[in-house]
């Protein structure tokens, strides 16, 4: 158990560091790279909980496809270093209290003894992928199909916008 805990803390720490670096880096490519680190660490955390399929998909979809697209766009626009403007007035006054409130509420939720979000023990369920697919295509087939319809609408929207620009 201690090895698993150690891996958890390494991954979680890396994920937090990556997220901080994402915010504080000045160059968009460095921020995108930090985001990839966060994605891969999250995949590692999923793997630690025995969700092999979700972990692999996390890397393939988020770490791979989406982030490649981000990097592609940043490279295509040849975006330079960001110039930090003066922060918004809301952030100056309400930022710190709001952040503290969020951290406090999350901490309260985690520390509570009857916490409902206790981490499940890492068990490797055989045929976990098969169970996911059975659930997806039998029990939740309508929400699944609706989601795919939503994505189709998004694709059509992108096509319409691209075609309009051509004219």
Partner 1 sequence: MISFLQQNAFWIIAIVKIALLLFIVLTVNAYLTWFERKVVAHIQSRWGPHRVGPHGLLQPAADGLKFLFKEDPTPAGVDRFVYYLAPFLALALSLTALAVIPFSPRPLEIFGQKIYFWIVNPDIGLLILFAITALSVYGIALAGWASNSKYSLLGGLRSSAQMISYELALTMSVVGVLLMANTFSLQSIIEQQDHGKWGIGFLGWNLFAWTRNGLLFPQIIGFICFFTSAIAETNRVPFDLPEAESELVAGFHTEYASFKFAMFFIAEYTAMITVSCLATILFFGGWLSPFPDTKFFYITHFIPSITLIPFGLWVIYDGIKYETIFGKLILPAVGFAMFAIGGTLIALPGVNDFIQPIFWFTAKVFVFLFFYVWSRGTLPRLRYDQLMNVGWKLLLPVSIANVIVTAAVVLWRSHP
Residues that bind partner 1 (CB under 8 A): 27, 29-30, 33, 36, 40, 43, 52-53, 56-57, 59-60, 63-65, 68-69, 71-72, 75-76, 78, 126, 128-130
In eight-state DSSP terms, residue 78 is T
**Tokens representing 148?**
């795919």
CB of 21 to partner 1, least distance (A): 11
For partner 1, the closer CB: 75 or 91: 75
For partner 1, the closer CB: 93 or 137: 137
For partner 1, the closer CB: 105 or 148: 148
Contacts of 131 (CB under 8 A, 6+ apart): 125
For partner 1, the closer CB: 12 or 57: 57
Q: State the Cα–Cα distance between residues 125 and 47, nearest whole angstrom.
A: 12
- Cβ pair 111, 60 in contact under 8 A: no
**Tokens representing 140?**
């939740």
CB of 25 to partner 1, least distance (A): 11
């Amino acid at each position: 158990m201690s090895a698993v805990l150690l891996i958890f803390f390494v991954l979680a720490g890396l994920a937090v560091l990556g997220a901080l670096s994402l915010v504080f880096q000045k160059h968009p490519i460095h921020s995108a790279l930090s985001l990839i680190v966060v994605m891969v660490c999250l995949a590692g955390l999923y793997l630690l909980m025995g969700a092999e399929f979700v972990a692999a998909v996390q890397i393939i979809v988020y770490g791979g496809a989406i982030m490649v697209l981000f990097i592609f766009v940043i490279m295509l626009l040849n975006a330079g270093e960001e110039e930090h403007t003066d922060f918004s007035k809301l952030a100056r006054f309400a930022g710190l209290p709001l952040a503290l409130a969020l951290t406090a509420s999350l901490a309260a939720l985690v520390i509570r003894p009857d916490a409902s979000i206790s981490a499940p023990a890492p068990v490797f369920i055989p045929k976990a992928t098969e169970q996911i697919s059975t659930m997806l295509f039998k029990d939740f087939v309508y929400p699944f199909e609706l989601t795919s319809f939503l994505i189709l609408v998004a694709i059509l929207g992108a096509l319409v916008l691209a075609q309009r620009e051509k004219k």
